[in-house]
Amino acid sequence: MVRTRWQYMWWFIPYFLGWWGIGWLSPTAPGGTGVLGFIPGMAAVAVLNLLIFYVAILQAVTDSTTRVYMLHFGKRGSRAP
């Protein structure tokens, strides 16, 4: 089964939405609403990054699939996306 690149990279959307949400709730000095203080904001960033890292590792491309992709793109030369 060959997956498209978006089936491997869907976690980008919640990652950037999470960063946007944490930034919006951050202290007012950088432009946030002030709901989260510095320490709770850093804790939220740490939790978000650990969750997204875990999901990204679960969605990673296997070595054998990477080899197939590299062989395919190698045949296409400079026209590879």
Q: Give residue-wise pLDDT tens across range 20-50.
A: 999 999 988 878 898 999 899 999 999 999 9
Is pLDDT of 57 > 60?
A: yes
Contacts 24+ apart (CB under 8 A), 9-15: 9/59, 10/59, 11/52, 11/55, 11/56, 11/59, 14/52, 15/48, 15/52
The two tokens of residue 51 are: 């969750």
**pLDDT at residue 18 in the model:** 95
pTM score over 0.85 = no
Give 59's DSSP letter.
T
Range of the domain at 18: 5-79
| CA 60 to each of CA 16, 30, 35, 41, 76: distance values in angstroms, whole numbers, following the listed order | 18, 34, 35, 28, 23
